[in-house]
Amino acid sequence: MSEPGTTPVIHAEHLSRRFGDLWAVRDVSLTVQRGEIFGVLGPNGAGKSTTIRMLCGILDPSGGTGSVVGYDIAKQSEQIKQNIGYMTQRFSLYEDMTVEENMRFYASIYGMGGRERKERIDEVLTQIGLLDRRKQIAGTLSGGWKQRVALASSTIHRPPLLFLDEPTAGVDPVSRRHFWDQIHRIADQGTTVLVTTHYMDEAERCHRLAFIFRGQLLATGTPTEVVEMRGLRVAEVESERTIDAAELLRKAPGVEEVNHFGHVMRVATRGVSEPETLIRSVLAAANIAVQRYQTGRPNVEDAFVSMVREDEAVRKSGRGQEAA
């Protein structure tokens, strides 16, 4: 971190990790700049946690190189640990200790003590609005509050880089919003954040994104870029006999995905010049009347599902050829 702003906080090249015969992570390269909120998206088992563990220096890569906050992930894991915060999908506080005791413990293991520690704890407690509940046993907090206390504890030593591994799994929507406000506040103070999630609405709140699937990076960019890159067009269609209609549309060429949202079908197409013409003609052929047609905005979820589908189709055909 010789010159902040010029050196990327995370820089990984061709990172790979194998467990036995299984490649958990294969050839992942990514760069994260200072102050960014960088989201890593992928289904369970895609290799998100493995990637984070390698970047933290607690898991040796089978191949590739990387530097985190200016230190080599393979050789300088101790220095990296000093300069990162880390919070897992599982609640990582001690449930039988108070909020304040938890913070005191984490501050101490990062080498803080005395006045500095006390002031910092007060500051963090004020920020998250828990000053009056500092003596409460952490285990008695609600799920959303636990996550926010955990987040505050993992940033108590003001790390330049924060890793969040599915921090909001199982937390209700309102608490997730609060949590993300907190993440943005932390990022505004100059901390770089790398967060994994499989909530697509959260993905849209990141500055930049990486899609990871089966251990491989499928795309990186800002949420808008990632969506545009995929070239999807989305139509919102209301029709009769929606079940049959969806069935027919899924078979039509160029249709990637049909989803029901109440009475409305969301139809995503790719490489189709006139989606409206296509959809109307497919439904007309089956005598299904279209009651309403509206162009929608493709989102991160559409792009992600489309990419995963394509990847799976390629694999399936590959396996088919092998069998034949």
Partner 1 sequence: MRRLLAVAWKELVQLRRDRLTFGMMVGIPVMQLLLFGYAINTDVRHMPTVVYDQDHSAESRDLVERLVITGFYDVVGYVHNYEDIGREMRIGHSHVAVVIPPRFGRALREGTSARAQLVVDGSDPQTVASATNTALSLGAAYALDLSTERLEKTGRGAGNTPLSIEPTTWYNPELKTAIYVVPGLVGVILTMTMLMFTAMAIVRERERGTLEQLIVSPVGRVELVVGKIVPYIVIGYVQMTLILGVGRLVFHVPLQGSLPLLYALASVFIAANLALGLFFSTIAKTQQQAMQMSFFWILPNILLSGFMFPYEGMPVPAQWVSQILPLTHFLRIVRGITLKGSTFPEVEGEFMRLVVILVVLVVLSSLRFRKKLG
Residues at the site binding partner 1, with contacts judged by CB under 8 A: 56, 58, 78, 81-82, 84, 86-88, 90-97, 101, 105-106, 108-111, 113, 137, 154, 163
* Residue type at position 226: V
Q: For partner 1, which is the closer residue by CB, 33 or 82?
A: 82
- Minimum separation from the CB atom of position 207 to partner 1 (A): 23
Q: For partner 1, which is the closer residue by CB, 49 or 299?
A: 49
Q: What distance in Å separates the CA atoms of residue 172 and residue 168, rounded to the nearest whole number?
A: 8
> Do residues 121 and 100 touch, judged by C-beta distance below 8 A?
yes
Tokens of 287: 């005598």
- Minimum separation from the CB atom of position 3 to partner 1 (A): 25
Q: For partner 1, which is the closer residue by CB, 97 or 305?
A: 97
- Minimum separation from the CB atom of position 97 to partner 1 (A): 6
Q: For partner 1, which is the closer residue by CB, 138 or 226?
A: 138
- Minimum separation from the CB atom of position 74 to partner 1 (A): 13
Q: For partner 1, which is the closer residue by CB, 94 or 293?
A: 94
> Do residues 269 and 275 touch, judged by C-beta distance below 8 A?
yes
Q: For partner 1, which is the closer residue by CB, 77 or 242?
A: 77
- Tokens 């902040």, residue? 4
Give the largest Cα separation in the chain, rounded: 77
Tokens of 174: 């309102």
Can you tell me whether residue 290 is helix, strand or coil? strand
- Tokens 């985190």, residue? 68
Tokens of 248: 């027919």
Nearest to 146 by CA among 184, 97, 186: 97
- Minimum separation from the CB atom of position 184 to partner 1 (A): 23
> Do residues 213 and 44 touch, judged by C-beta distance below 8 A?
no
